[in-house]
Amino acid sequence: MAPSSIGGPGGPVGVRHHIVTVTVENKAGVLARVAGLFSRRGFNIFSLAVAPTDDERFSRITIVVDVESAPLEQIIRQLDKLVNVVAISELAPEEATERELLLATVEAGPDERGQVIQLVGVFEGRIVDVGREAITIMLAGAPNKIDDFENLIRPFGIVELQRTGRVALPKLERRTTRLRTIAGGAGEDGAG
Amino acid sequence: MRLTGAQALIKSLEMQGVEVIFGLPGGAILPVYDPILDSTIRHILVRHEQGAGHMAEGYAHVTGRPGVAMVTSGPGATNIVTPLADAAMDSVPLVVVTGQVATTAIGTDAFQECPITGVTMDITKHNWLVTDARDIPRVVAEAFHVATTGRPGPVLIDVPKDVSNSQMDWYWPSSLDDLDLPGYRPRTEGDPSAIRAAAELILRAERPVIYAGGGILKARAADALREFAERTGVPVVTTLMARGAFPDSHPLCLGMPGMHGNYTAVTAMQHADLLVALGSRFDDRVTGKVSAFAPEAKVIHVDIDPAELGKVRRADVAIAGDCRIVIEEIVEALGTLGLESGGSAGSGTTAADRPDLAPWKAQLSEWQQRFPLTYRQEEGGALKPQLVVEALRDSTPDDTIVVAGVGQHQMWASQYWRFEHPYTWVNSGGAGTMGFAVPAAIGAKVGRPDKMVWAIDGDGCFQMTAQELVTASAERIPVKIAILNNAYLGMVRQWQELFYEERYSEVYLSPDLPDYVKWAEAMGCIGMRVETAEEVAPAIEKANSVDDRPVVIDFRTDAFEKVYPMVPSGASNDDIIVGPSEGEGGR
């Protein structure tokens, strides 16, 4: 993958990906600063999702990063230098509860419709729109489940497909690994 | 008190203690230029916005205070992009104010519109687009705080014209709590356990070297460094950015390492068993091939920017903190381990079991004697540039500020000058910005009018920004410029000679075109030309006697002289080429 490229859904996301949750000030241009940093330093992004938090002053950016493109510690320390970045937490895949949303319009004429609907039922998705020759499906779930579903519906013919990129929270039974601890004595509180 | 945004901006700069702005007005910044007439702040009108940026950098380098530049929107703003990038690379505190088209016109491709916050996002420490005049005092205070704390750097404030023209109620943020910087927390003190680990490593080392970088100067840590070096007896290399941070005359000083560093400084690092990196960042021009750099050395790395730790070279002990504070903490920890002031060790302490550094120092002395910097001035032969640098050094006060551009002349200046004081060396290190010297020298002289300021420049560099000598003449800023005129883009020529089989592609400039003496005179300076070794000293003496206008000396130097030693790009520092006699073209 080219440096700083954004991987497609279902890309080779695995042990080499980590989830970095970045709390940023809700100000104009902040996403560009974060994205620009990844581009400039040659860090790869698998997926990226942005949304406001419960505190309107801040937004949360969930980035799935390729830790083979650069050491995670370096990515986090560079992010921490951005003045608008307020907090960073890092989740290894096994420590995270991850979810992603998929919308897909699938070719499904009268003959195939039943099979598709059955598949949607198995995966606990929802039919959100129905046309004569196609239906639109929504499915939320763990990213690997979304991958499986996508592979199974692909043979029917995908008209359009959109995935949100994953969002994540730490699993409750484990502790969040935060920058303040993983960076040890060297990286506590970033100098700008 | 009701003020316009423009008045509030100037008043905010006054509140920050700004004494000088380097700038050039234009449409979008017009409102802000009006209150300058009523301000105590001196404005220096440059001839090109790049000059404003480099002047502000020169000012910041020598004073430690942030340099301030102000320009208009569009091309005015893009012309100052190079100084911003330069300041970002060399951690120079800079506050640049740009005018912007009115908020209502932003995004319409209006006349002289340029999205400068987007353009400079990656080359500023931070930037702001002000959309409400009420934000101006707070944003100015934030900008100065960000530029000057932590790892210093350039910041930019973009002010749309309608914001400058609108009214606001004046206030001034009285404390840091009034700033809106929830994500900005620079850390200055080192982690105590890491400090102790560093002290223990130092006391176990047999071949230690202190690798001092520009961070020493930014942290105003030169005195702390000296105490640290003297107490431990550890020799010091000073990088290009750290020249002057440790006196060249000091017995522990090994001088500059790196691609054109001296043999002993380069080789000491290669053979070291411990590198104490203080405010240095393992730049490729210092390390050469990273995998072959200082292979046996353990590393203690101190930097205020945590992202520098482990970026290039893994550190055995990494300490994020202000260099001055951390060095003092390490010295204190060394004291606790029994290493007393003056270097003696208390009996029964860890320091008493310390390895003897004498064999290491003997080795260093031997290298220094065997491989000094050398050049040969032939009787009646072409004037050697190194001779000019030595003559300047010998006939100026030892606190003279030396400013260089980028290229061969910069390396000769760094190699042959004898730096005895911090903040006497101003150059473009990381970015390598040709044309830096003339405007940076002007800014340095504005910042330190009490000191003699000499720029050592190349003919290629000089042609890039020489027009700022008009500014210097108009403003009565008596800088002195020594052009080492070898009629070539000399460093590129050197690489083409050594690595491209002497195929010289687009590097010849001509010694006579332009006529530097006439050009200098046309710009209100005194111009002189020197062609032989005998003329050098008298010309410098004459230049030193001028104090009411700039002086330019066109030194016609040997076009074929090369900078040595040299580590070829991408090679190991073990493969240092000491001089031209070593191998065909040095390879």
Angstroms from A89 CA to nearest CA on chain B: 14
For residue B361, the one-letter residue type is K
In this complex, is the C-beta atom of A42 within 8 Å of any C-beta atom belonging to chain B?
no
How far apart CA B330 and CA B225 sit, in angstroms, is 11
> What tokens were used for B298?
């353990």
Q: How far is CA A72 from the centre of its chain?
A: 16
DSSP E strands in chain A: the ranges are: 17-25, 44-52, 58-66, 85-91, 96-107, 126-130, 134-141, 158-163, 167-170, 177-178
Would B101 be classed as within a structural domain?
Answer: yes
Would B580 be classed as within a structural domain?
Answer: no
CA atoms within 13 A on the CB side of A74: 19
Q: Are residues B236 and B162 in the same domain?
A: no
**CATH code assigned at B257:** 3.40.50.1220
Q: Are residues B488 and B526 in the same domain?
A: yes
> Considering B302, B335, B370, which residue would you say is the last residue of a domain?
B370
Q: Are residues B364 and B402 in the same domain?
A: no
Provide the pLDDT for residue A192: 31
Question: Measured between alpha carbons, how far is residue B84 from residues B55, B410, B428, B506 in Å?
Answer: 12, 20, 12, 28
How far apart CA A133 and CA A120 sit, in angstroms, is 17
Q: Please tell me which residue, A96 or A105, carries the higher pLDDT value.
A: A105
Q: Are residues B59 and B99 in the same domain?
A: yes
In this complex, is the C-beta atom of A56 within 8 Å of any C-beta atom belonging to chain B?
no
Instruction: Provide the number of CB pairs (under 8 Å) joining chain A to chain B.
Output: 93
For residue B510, the one-letter residue type is S
Question: Measured between alpha carbons, how far is residue A183 from residues A19, A65, A129, B279, B306 in Å?
Answer: 16, 17, 48, 19, 9
Q: Give the count of beta carbons closer than 10 Å to the beta carbon of residue B146.
A: 26
Cβ-defined contact of B122 to A28 (cutoff 8 Å): no
Q: Are residues B133 and B225 in the same domain?
A: no
Domain ranges of chain A: 17-96+171-186, 98-168
Count: domains in chain B: 3
Cβ-defined contact of B187 to A185 (cutoff 8 Å): no
Q: Are residues B294 and B363 in the same domain?
A: yes
| Cis amide prior to A155 (ω within 30 degrees) | no
| Strand-pair partners of B419 | none
Would B587 be classed as within a structural domain?
Answer: no
**CATH code assigned at B112:** 3.40.50.970
Cβ-defined contact of A183 to B306 (cutoff 8 Å): yes
Q: Using CB atoms within 10 A of its CB, is residue A54 exposed (0-12), middle (13-18) or buried (19+)?
A: exposed
Residues 113-132 of B with CB under 8 A from A: 117-118, 121-122, 125-126, 129
Q: Are residues B365 and B390 in the same domain?
A: no
Q: Which residues contact B366 (CB under 8 A, 6 or more apart)?
A: none
Would B150 be classed as within a structural domain?
Answer: yes
Cβ-defined contact of A192 to B306 (cutoff 8 Å): no
| Chain B interface disruption, residue of A39, A53, A58, A81, most B CBs within 10 A | A81
The helices-and-strands tally (H runs, E runs) of chain A is 5, 10
Cβ-defined contact of A187 to B309 (cutoff 8 Å): yes
| Tens digits of residue pLDDT in A17-76 | 889 999 999 998 999 999 999 999 988 888 899 988 889 999 999 999 988 877 889 999
Q: Are residues B478 and B534 in the same domain?
A: yes
Per-residue pLDDT of chain B (587 residues; tens, 9 = 90+): 999 999 999 999 999 999 999 999 999 999 999 999 999 999 999 999 999 999 999 999 999 999 999 999 999 999 999 999 999 999 999 999 999 999 999 999 999 999 999 999 999 999 999 999 999 999 999 999 999 999 999 999 999 999 999 999 999 999 999 999 999 999 888 899 999 999 999 999 999 999 999 999 999 999 999 999 999 999 999 999 999 999 999 999 999 999 999 999 999 999 999 999 999 999 999 999 999 999 999 999 999 999 999 999 999 999 999 999 999 999 999 999 999 988 889 888 999 999 999 999 999 999 999 999 999 999 999 999 999 999 999 999 999 999 999 999 999 999 999 999 999 999 999 999 999 999 999 999 999 999 999 999 999 999 999 999 999 999 999 999 999 999 999 999 999 999 999 999 999 999 999 999 999 999 999 999 999 999 999 999 999 999 999 999 999 999 999 999 999 989 999 999 998 876 444 33
Provide the pLDDT for residue B444: 98
Looking at beta carbons, which residues of chain B come within 8 Å of A85?
A: 183
Provide the pLDDT for residue A190: 34
> Considering B335, B370, B405, which residue would you say is the last residue of a domain?
B370
Residue owning tokens 């010694």: B511
Range of the domain at B157: 2-178
Of A32, A74, A189, the CB nearest to B185: A189
| Chain A interface disruption, residue of B195, B303, B309, most A CBs within 10 A | B309
Do domains A17-96+171-186 and A98-168 share one topology? The answer is: yes
Provide the pLDDT for residue B587: 32
In this complex, is the C-beta atom of B176 within 8 Å of any C-beta atom belonging to chain A?
no
How far apart CA B549 and CA B543 sit, in angstroms, is 10
- Any idea what the Cα angle at residue B416 is, between residues B509 and B565, rounded to 5°? 75
Let me know: does B186 contact A192? Beta carbons within 8 Å. yes
Looking at beta carbons, which residues of chain A come within 8 Å of B319?
A: 185-186
Angstroms from A95 CA to nearest CA on chain B: 25
What kind of fold does domain A98-168 have according to CATH?
Alpha-Beta Plaits (3.30.70)
Looking at beta carbons, which residues of chain A come within 8 Å of B149?
A: 192
Q: Are residues B394 and B256 in the same domain?
A: no
DSSP E strands in B161-271: the ranges are: 167-169, 208-212, 236-238, 253-255
How far apart CA B35 and CA B50 sit, in angstroms, is 23
Would B586 be classed as within a structural domain?
Answer: no
With the CA atoms of B175, B177, B183 and B187 taken in that order, what torsion angle do they form, in degrees rounded to the nearest 10? 60
Cβ-defined contact of B129 to A29 (cutoff 8 Å): yes
How far apart CA A179 and CA A114 sit, in angstroms, is 49
Let me know: does B324 contact B245? Beta carbons within 8 Å. no
Would B348 be classed as within a structural domain?
Answer: yes
Q: What are the backbone angles phi and psi of residue A124, rounded to the nearest 5°?
A: 60, 40
Q: Is the pLDDT of residue A15 over 90?
A: no
* 3-state SS, residue B527: strand
How far apart CA A116 and CA A138 sit, in angstroms, is 12
Short-list B337, B367, B102, CA closest to B196: B337
| Chain A interface disruption, residue of B119, B121, B131, B196, most A CBs within 10 A | B121
Of B146, B191, B306, the CB nearest to A77: B306
| Cis amide prior to B514 (ω within 30 degrees) | yes
Minimal Cα distance from A74: which residue of B?
B307
Of B191, B194, B306, the CB nearest to A191: B306
Looking at beta carbons, which residues of chain A come within 8 Å of B124?
A: none
Q: Are residues B415 and B301 in the same domain?
A: no
Question: Measured between alpha carbons, how far is residue B443 from residues A66, B153, B370, B446, B471 in Å?
Answer: 44, 17, 40, 5, 11
Minimal Cα distance from B193: which residue of A?
A185
> Considering B126, B147, B178, which residue would you say is the last residue of a domain?
B178
Short-list B576, B562, B575, CA closest to B261: B576
Short-list B65, B76, B118, CA closest to B98: B76
Class of domain A17-96+171-186: alpha beta
